[in-house]
């Protein structure tokens, strides 16, 4: 495992009784990146994260976090990690400050309390409020603050924006970028594609306990199919365009307009189109959500 690899799993298998949650998961997260872990509920995102912190024990496979085996050195791993669980529960009888001071004490009082106040201010979070009086969204803010307060090397965040309003979601995403800028590695799970697309440099798509795709976000989007609508000043031979590698004709139209589908780079198509009298050109760039759904569509077809 290289020094640049912060998280590494190989052949990770996890059973809950008779139910298999992970099927030999292989994952690698590099130092200093924001890695988005995508998948719907029940795909194995939370199970993976909990294996990384030794909250649950994998049945098979290798796990390394920050170069350490979490099962052998759980305390050392957790000392350098900030974690936000997907299902956040806090002691209701404490105040926000009481809860954060308790978490800070568990870390040997290494947290930066000025930074805590700064984070609380950015989230408009009242430190004196009792936890039991907080809304779900405000509890989530406490969770984010406790994960960040000691400026960890690695952030493991399970659905960090869950329950937050759009403004606060943006604030969390800004904080993730700031953490990365400060040298931290961010590994976060989500099923909200737009936020992953907004901050993650690389994404992994997990499906039924298996990692089906890992790629740079931009590459994944560029590599995907895109639809292109072209209008010409006069009718053209659609067969010429259909022969361009990666291009297929979805609708030939009347020769003056046609709908094409392009897989991969569009360079070849554009160079071919340069020889024709083009009057309009529209391209539909797929969102990460569409790409993600495509993996699940393929899965549904397999099931059928």
Partner 1 sequence: MVTIFRHALARSWGQILAWGLSLALLGAFLVPFYDTVASQKEQLMGLLQSYPPELWAFFGDASTMFTPEGYLTIEFFSYMPLIVGIYAILLGSGLLAGDEENGTLDLILAHPVSRAALFFGRLLAFAVATAAILFIVWLGFVIVMNWSTLNVDWDKMALPFLSLLAVLLLFGTLALLLSMLLPSRRAAAMVAGILLVASFFITSLARVDKNLDTVARFSPLNYYQSGEAIKGLNGGWFLGLLACSLVCTILAWWCFGRRDIRVGGEGSWRWSWLPLPARLRQSKAS
What's the sign of the alpha-carbon dihedral 54, 66, 159, 89? Answer: positive
Which region among 12-20, 132-140, 160-168, 269-277 touches partner 1 (by CB under 8 A)?
12-20
**Whose Cβ is closer to partner 1: residue 46's or residue 217's?**
46
Task: Please report how close the Cβ of residue 174 comes to partner 1 at its closest, in angstroms.
Answer: 23
The strands making up 278-284's β-sheet, listed across from edge to edge, are 247-251, 257-263, 225-232, 278-284
Tell me the HSE value of 106 on the side-chain side, using a 13 A CA sphere.
15
The label of the residue with tokens 């391209």 reads: 283
Is 211 among the residues that bind partner 1 (CB under 8 A)? no
- Span interacting with partner 1, options 51-59, 202-210, 221-229, 239-247, rule CB under 8 A: 51-59
Q: How far apart are CA 51 and CA 14, in angstroms?
A: 9
69 contributes a contact to partner 1 by CB under 8 A? no
Neighbours of 296 (CB within 10 A): 16
Is residue 221 involved in binding partner 1 (CB under 8 A)?
Answer: no
First-residue to last-residue Cα distance in the chain: 40
Among candidates 186, 176, 178, 141, which has minimal Cα distance to 162? 141
- Which one, of 175, 186, 119, lies nearest residue 153 by Cα? 186
Question: Is residue 68 at the binding interface for partner 1, with CB under 8 A as the rule?
Answer: no
At its nearest, how many Å lie between partner 1 and the CB of residue 245? 42
Q: Which is nearer to partner 1, 79 or 198 (CB)?
A: 79
Q: Cα–Cα distance between 15 and 135 in angstroms, integer?
A: 34
Binding to partner 1 (CB under 8 A) within 140-169 occurs at: 143, 146
Q: How far apart are CA 17 and CA 56, in angstroms?
A: 13
Residue 179 binding partner 1, by CB under 8 A? no
Alpha-carbon distances, residue 213 vs 28, 30, 146, 202, 210 (angstroms) = 12, 16, 31, 10, 9
Q: Is 57 in the site for partner 1 (CB under 8 A)?
A: yes
Question: How far is the C-alpha of 28 from the C-alpha of 12, rounded, in Å?
Answer: 12
Distance between CA 116 and CA 11 in Å, rounded? Answer: 38
Which CB sits closer to partner 1, 53 or 215?
Answer: 53
41 binds partner 1 (CB under 8 A): no
> Which residue lies nearer to partner 1 by CB, 76 or 214?
76
Between 137 and 246, name the residue whose CB sits nearer to partner 1.
137
Q: Which of 2, 18, 41, 135 binds partner 1 (CB under 8 A)?
A: 18
| Residues 162, 166, 169: CA angle, nearest 5 degrees | 50
Nearer to partner 1, 154 or 230 (CB): 154
Q: How many residues bind partner 1 (CB under 8 A)?
A: 37
Question: For partner 1, what does the binding mask look like between residues 72 and 111, x meaning CB under 8 A?
Answer: --xxx-xx-x-x-xxxxxxx-x--------xx-xxxx---
Largest separation between any pair of C-alpha atoms in the chain:
75
Cross-strand pairs, 86: none
Closer Cβ to partner 1, 59 or 129, answer by number: 59
Between 59 and 95, whose beta carbon lies closer to partner 1?
59
* CB 207 to partner 1: min, Å: 18
Binding site for partner 1 (CB under 8 A): 15-20, 46, 50, 53, 55-57, 59-60, 74-76, 78-79, 81, 83, 85-91, 93, 102-103, 105-108, 143, 146
């Amino acid at each position: 495992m290289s020094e640049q690899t912060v998280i590494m799993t190989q052949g990770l298998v996890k059973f809950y009784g008779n139910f298999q949650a992970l099927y030999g998961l292989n994952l690698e997260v590099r130092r200093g990146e924001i890695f988005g872990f995508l998948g719907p509920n029940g795909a194995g995102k939370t199970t993976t994260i909990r294996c990384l912190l030794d909250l649950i024990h994998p049945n098979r496979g290798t796990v390394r976090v920050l170069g350490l085996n979490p099962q052998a050195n759980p305390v050392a791993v957790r000392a350098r990690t900030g974690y936000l669980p997907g299902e956040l529960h806090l002691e209701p009888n404490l105040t926000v400050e009481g809860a954060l001071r308790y978490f800070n004490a568990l870390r040997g009082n290494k947290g930066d309390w000025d930074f805590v106040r700064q984070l609380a201010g950015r989230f408009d979070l009242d430190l004196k409020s009792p936890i039991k009086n907080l809304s779900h969204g405000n509890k989530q803010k406490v969770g984010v603050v406790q994960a960040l307060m000691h400026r960890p090397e690695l952030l493991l965040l399970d659905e960090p924006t869950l329950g937050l309003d759009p403004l606060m979601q943006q604030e969390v995403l800004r904080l993730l970028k700031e953490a990365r800028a400060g040298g931290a590695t961010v590994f976060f799970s989500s099923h909200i594609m737009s936020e992953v697309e907004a901050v993650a440099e690389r994404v992994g798509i997990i499906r039924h306990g298996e990692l089906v795709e890992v790629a740079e976000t931009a590459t994944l989007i560029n590599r995907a199919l895109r639809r292109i609508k072209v209008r010409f000043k006069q009718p053209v031979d659609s067969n010429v365009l259909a022969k361009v590698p990666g291009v297929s004709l979805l609708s030939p139209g009347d020769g003056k307009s046609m709908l094409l589908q392009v897989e991969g780079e569009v360079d070849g198509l554009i160079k071919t189109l340069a020889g024709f009298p083009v009057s309009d050109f529209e391209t539909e760039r797929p969102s990460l959500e569409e790409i993600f759904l495509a993996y699940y569509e393929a899965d549904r077809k397999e099931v059928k």
